[in-house]
Structure 1
């Protein structure tokens, strides 16, 4: 293959800083074709699940409510997050297409991290939705109007873009005079920064601060929302009312676990797992990208009766 010849001939080094090579999964190159099977299966489930979710929410008038609007935002973000990386990853596994231009790499990195930040913001918005629904049910319709929901969506987008926009410009200023081989399946920020032959302290610190700022603040506000929700639920008279109120939060709590567990696991191993094999780091990083977008439609489809009923009707070929 032409890519193989260029890859082996240059060994990922040279004077052309505009071309980089994605290694895929280091140490498991011979198994790329087999690894592509679960990756492709998960990607197919992501596309099918999230498109189905969006179709059901759009076509069913009874789902035109704030909770489902936020769920639709989450489905869109999950789709975009997957589409940003998976086509290139599969092309590496199937066709050994490792080459990527530096500009394309920066664009992929920008969108990848931006959509990750938006995913966290939407989960925070969904926690706010549950807080208002349980703690201020009589004002729910007046607080979460369509206008407010649209503003929340735009704020999530603006926050992601403003925080991530400096990263590509910071990286463009760095010289890449040695290896052009990125030890990853996609252009992740730290994997690209490690290739620079200059002082990268500012880029490192900026990336860490943004990660802690986003994850820290969002998780704190989500936690505070659920503390207030739990207090409100415990004030309810009967056990049935308490269980019903908590039941409306079940899907969102599962989504939080699905999204943040791989993030925490990946970050912990990346920071402290010095003796963990590189391919384990990369597989976990890919799990973070694939698992939440695949599981979110399943979680909401199983635990939300309105969605479950409409999906069953859809696949039985009946009209809504």
Structure 2
């Protein structure tokens, strides 16, 4: 088939070439060498810093004047998203460090997949807060105590998002799965592309022990560190059909039994008229 170019000449394409172009348009894989290539600042000014070899590391800081954050330059519809993070050390009470996917807020149909790390007083463990919003409906919180100190060294936090499920992983260990239950009337995130975000901000009215422990600004600035990001949206990869094998199911059950401290699907006081629909079909 022939397509006229701007100069009036006909340019002929073979079908396999067209197919390859279309694949490249919808499939991307971005690996974390230079943060400036794939991300841009959302707020915080000089509190967002890239450093290292060619900008392969990034840090966010929080002081009494402002927090900071960044987002991906591209939007993605499904994919695997990995980030190595080292959280705020010492007394991090009142601080929240986040890693999340979010749709365009202007649509009015809010989709979001959340990791939130709630700081604490020195010597106390971080709380890992997870949530899923579908078409504006959230309130699907699960919280965990991490089984390591996330401030000593980098750990990998991952989101796998495909048409069947949303999976949260820590160092390749699955901790939570949210399945597609559209057939039961539960909205699933599959219509809106999302950007990958991260931020560090102050929320001492609720973040630490329900707001009982406040931020000690004499410890500021508070800093979190990032490296080795990965965004894989090349359909046909392992993430596209990712599921839990028997070993992964055992690992997740063990983490949930030992480290989960809150599950909305077990909060009878919050849902006196019955748990949300997806809770009734929860398999794991």
Alignment TM-score, normalising by the size of structure 1:
0.20
Richer in helix (by share): 1
Richer in strand (by share): 2
| Structure possessing the higher radius of gyration over alpha carbons | 1
Alignment TM-score, normalising by the size of structure 2:
0.22
- More contact order relative to length (CA 8 Å, sep ≥ 6): 1
